[in-house]
Structure 1
Amino acid sequence: MPLAHLSRFARLNPRTVTSKRELIILWIAILGLFLIAGGLLVWLVEPAPPKTIVMSAGPQDSSFMPTAMAYKKILARNGITLKVLPSGGSVQNLQRLLDPKQHVDIALVQGGVAGGLDTSSLMSLGSVFHAPILVLYRGENVTQLSQFTGMRIGVGEEGTGTRVIALDLLKANGIVPGGPTTLVPVDGEQAANELAAGNLDAAFFDGGSASRATMVSVLHRPGISTMDFAQAAAYTRRFTYLDEIDLPPGVLNLGKNEPPNTVHLISPLVELVARSSLHPAISDLLIEAAQEVHGKSGLLQHAGEFPNPEAHEYRISDDAARYYKSGKSFLYRSLPFWVASLLDRLVVLLVPIAVLLVPAMRALPALYRWRVRSRIYRWYGLLIAIERGAMSNTQGAEREALVKELDAIEESVNRMKMPLAYADAFYVLREHVSFVRERLSDASRREAATPA
């Protein structure tokens, strides 16, 4: 049994342990706790804004593409790279957003193309501009789509927003695929050329499939007219994604008074649609870019009309609603984007860190007391074992082993470096060592007094 005691003593010998080391160990443990907690909070609360985002725009010759390129230039000022992907138009843009395998963050999507798709995973940053439906035709005085029955109409290529809306409008006028009217899948520059060459009687155009320059060039060709939607108000009642837009006389050319009369148009709104995972700081930058690009007055809008939180088919995001209501936060107004982003995240972390710090600082003295006292109390197990050995009928070599073990314990205790605040417990331990030594001495005297 004494040899076992000595083995335990070797493991517990704290000669080299100092109070300074105890404090260092405690501080390291607390620092590690804060680092782990801080890392978890950074990960859980809000990640840093990404430096690159991907946008699905539209065909190269559409009005969507220059809009996306303008966004790219503005975001670059804040160190954000906008990767712009060409597409077939709003339908493909929406499909990319809904497909998790497509790494697309935002897209320009015109109203009326969602159909029966589940878009609950998407959100709108607001409406950014009108994409009016222009029906250009050969001839004059056409005010109803039903007047094109039996003719050749360009309705847009498969998968484009132009085609989806054109088929909806024509169906409402009794014109459907397979009937007497020939519906040709062309749009943009091709539709313009076919119309000018006389291969089409009419064609649908909008900003998602054709540039403004293309539409104007067709309009100025002899024999080509713009359909005046005399029933525009009825269309906006039947199709909630449409707005009515009037082109007043002379708005295109005051000197030539083009158009000579008010032209009634119908137009879906184009929304900036994003996945719900879009970072709030990036959302603010995109709306700010949209304000710079679309906020001025133009042929189809008044100054400040766009962007706006009016959303027809997609829920407006909470971050966008907050931005439209109160604008950028103080940090983002006053500091560079990345500095403001860092400080914004740090502020979010201050409260939970403070919640952890206060109890941790209160617990530090208690932990320190426990560590110091544990260095004293651990010896009592060995002392009790030696005392029990002294009370048993140990003789000769066994008792000498107990005495040597007690000597080693006493030497180690005397070399302990103990803070003055715990000197009382230290001297009590030394008294107990002396007490156990006295018990060993009493046992030796009794043995010597016992007759052989």
Structure 2
Amino acid sequence: MKRPHLPRDHAKGVLHDITWTAGPVVLVIAIIVALVYWLVDPAPPKTITMSAGQPDSSFYVISQEYAKLLARNGITLKVLPSDGSVQNLERLLDPKQHVDLALVQGGIATREEASKLMSLGSVSYVPLVVFYRGKGLTLLSQLEGKRIAIGREGSGTRTLSLKLLEANGIYPGGDTKLLPTDGLQAATQLVSNEADAVFLSGDSATRGLMLRLLRVPGISVMDFNEALAYTRLFPYLDDIELPPGVLDLGRRIPPESVHLISPTVELVARPTLHPALSDLLIEAAQEVHGTAGLLQRAGQFPSPVAHEFPISEDASRYYRSGKSFLYRTLPFWLANIADRALVLLLPVAVLIFPALRLVPALYRWRVRSRIYRYYGALIAVERGAMRVTSEEERRALLVELDYIEESLDTIRLPLAHADALYVLREHVSFVRSRLTEASRRDKSMA
């Protein structure tokens, strides 16, 4: 069937009605969607800041590796030097410091401090290795009254050492002299008999330095026979083993297995870290820390095992199921846009379905309101006809009725609502017939 031709002005009227009816609804929905898009699930920042360590430390080198890997996805990682884990933790807890994440050694934070942050996983061991003058020591309590180098002020090694010594009844200010040295300086003091024991951890416990100390006659490494007990008393500690010959296979150094206790380094972030960045950081950590090492197997780190800081929900999801389909198949920036769009589906659906029912009703009301407004004038004419007392008044009402009828020719209505216009015309004719009939009746009576 051939489509009927619509006059130009009629088509314009329909478009005008649709625009002014659906337009405000669409605009409100668009504004709400935009607000949800940017406020509920904002885009990840292009730049984040990480507190690392001293410029020559492993923490700093690792942070620089993270920066290179994040740069592949357009994210800039600013690396701030620090004194180590203690300052890193302080920066994360201080809202005035613009730091998003940091590497923090276990055993540094209190329970309250740990609850304010979240972990993206453990990334490495930092075993505590105790060297001492003599042989046969297996308990830290046996160091009471001696000179012990426990690390510089503010270092993670010193903080952990103090906790372990206090658990063994050794406190600062007592008979035991606690020296604020670490690394090569502490090792030199031990060799020169200026210290009776040294606590080495992290960067200070390098393979080369441990070999040098074990080759010195009269210096031994402490075998923690109570390592398992330490892990029960201090949940952030792990019991690890230094295998025979791992430092020097040819000379079989150490000659026997050595039990050590070790906290882990955790990649700690503020709870405000964007979920998309959490995935990128864990992916970077897998590349940086996933290889085999002196004390770890390949793929052992990063690990979602909670030690001191609670594992974030986003990190748990990543370790459980990996990257989402979008991030596996699309570039990071495009996957992020698509992922955020999916978040909006539910609220948008909640808005659109009621709106879809509301728009037709508003459209119908808008179209028919053009008809309804004429009924007020028509009723006024009809009521006037009931009170008319002269032919002149009747003619005035007929003139007003003619004006109403002429005005109907200017109404633009969609064809679906044209029946209302014809009904109105019938009502106009009805009122006109009443006026005409009354006029004839008055003339016949005269």
TM-score of the pair, normalised by structure 1: 0.84
Aligned partner letter, 1:212: T
> How far, CA to CA, are the matches of 2:335 and 2:205 in structure 1?
38
> How far, CA to CA, are the matches of 1:185 and 1:265 in structure 2?
22
Q: Find 2:366's aligned residue among 361, 367, 371.
A: 371
> How far, CA to CA, are the matches of 2:435 and 2:209 in structure 1?
112
Tell me how far 1:167 sits from its aligned partner: 0.9
> How far, CA to CA, are the matches of 1:225 and 1:378 in structure 2?
103
Residue matched to 2:315: 320
What are the residue-to-residue correspondences of 1:2-401 with 2, within 5 Å? 18-43=13-38, 45-138=40-133, 142-188=137-183, 191=186, 195=190, 199-207=194-202, 210=204, 212=206, 215-216=209-210, 219=213, 222=216, 225-392=220-387
Do the aligned partners of residues 116 and 450 (structure 1) sit closer, same or farther apart at CA in structure 2, a change above 3 Å counting?
same
Do the aligned partners of residues 15 and 398 (structure 1) sit closer, same or farther apart at CA in structure 2, a change above 3 Å counting?
farther
Do the aligned partners of residues 279 and 445 (structure 1) sit closer, same or farther apart at CA in structure 2, a change above 3 Å counting?
same
CA RMSD in angstroms, aligned pairs only: 3.4
Residue matched to 1:11: none
> How far, CA to CA, are the matches of 1:158 and 1:445 in structure 2?
116
Residue 55 of structure 1 aligns to a residue in which SS?
strand
> How far, CA to CA, are the matches of 1:16 and 1:448 in structure 2?
47
Residue 344 of structure 2 aligns to a residue in which SS?
helix
Residues 156-187 of structure 1 show CA distances to partners (whole Å, capped at 9, x for unaligned) of 34433222211111122322111111223333
Residue 345 of structure 1 aligns to a residue in which SS?
helix
Contact 1:136 1:202 survives alignment (8 Å): yes
Contact 1:126 1:309 survives alignment (8 Å): yes
Tell me how far 1:347 sits from its aligned partner: 2.7
Give the fraction of aligned pairs with identical amino acids, expressed as a percent. 61
> How far, CA to CA, are the matches of 1:58 and 1:375 in structure 2?
75
Query: Which range moves more in the overlay, 16-25 or 322-331?
Result: 16-25
Tell me how far 1:269 sits from its aligned partner: 1.6
Tell me how far 1:400 sits from its aligned partner: 7.0
Do the aligned partners of residues 430 and 251 (structure 1) sit closer, same or farther apart at CA in structure 2, a change above 3 Å counting?
same
Residue 415 of structure 1 aligns to a residue in which SS?
coil
Tell me how far 1:15 sits from its aligned partner: 11
Aligned partner letter, 1:34: I
> How far, CA to CA, are the matches of 1:364 and 1:89 in structure 2?
62
Contact 1:155 1:162 survives alignment (8 Å): yes
> How far, CA to CA, are the matches of 2:397 and 2:250 in structure 1?
119
> How far, CA to CA, are the matches of 1:154 and 1:104 in structure 2?
31
Q: Find 1:434's aligned residue among 419, 423, 429.
A: 429
Contact 1:15 1:416 survives alignment (8 Å): no
Do the aligned partners of residues 350 and 235 (structure 1) sit closer, same or farther apart at CA in structure 2, a change above 3 Å counting?
closer
Contact 1:135 1:227 survives alignment (8 Å): yes
> How far, CA to CA, are the matches of 1:90 and 1:182 in structure 2?
24
> How far, CA to CA, are the matches of 2:390 and 2:421 in structure 1?
31
Residue 367 of structure 2 aligns to a residue in which SS?
helix
Residue matched to 1:8: none
Contact 1:61 1:210 survives alignment (8 Å): no
Query: Which range moves more in the overlay, 44-53 or 183-192?
Result: 183-192
Aligned partner letter, 2:78: K
Aligned partner letter, 1:270: V
> How far, CA to CA, are the matches of 1:397 and 1:107 in structure 2?
95
> How far, CA to CA, are the matches of 2:411 and 2:166 in structure 1?
96
Contact 2:114 2:310 survives alignment (8 Å): no
Aligned partner letter, 1:425: A
Tell me how far 1:28 sits from its aligned partner: 1.9
> How far, CA to CA, are the matches of 1:21 and 1:211 in structure 2?
79
Residue 114 of structure 2 aligns to a residue in which SS?
coil
Residues 289-343 of structure 1 show CA distances to partners (whole Å, capped at 9, x for unaligned) of 1111111111011112112221122222222222222222222222211222222
Residue 204 of structure 1 aligns to a residue in which SS?
strand
Contact 1:192 1:218 survives alignment (8 Å): no
Aligned partner letter, 1:322: R
Tell me how far 1:401 sits from its aligned partner: 6.5
Contact 2:214 2:221 survives alignment (8 Å): no
> How far, CA to CA, are the matches of 2:101 and 2:384 in structure 1?
81
Residue matched to 1:6: none
Contact 2:10 2:414 survives alignment (8 Å): no
Tell me how far 1:103 sits from its aligned partner: 2.8
Which runs of 5 or more residues in structure 1 are unaligned? 1-13
> How far, CA to CA, are the matches of 2:40 and 2:389 in structure 1?
66
Which runs of 5 or more residues in structure 2 are unaligned? 1-8
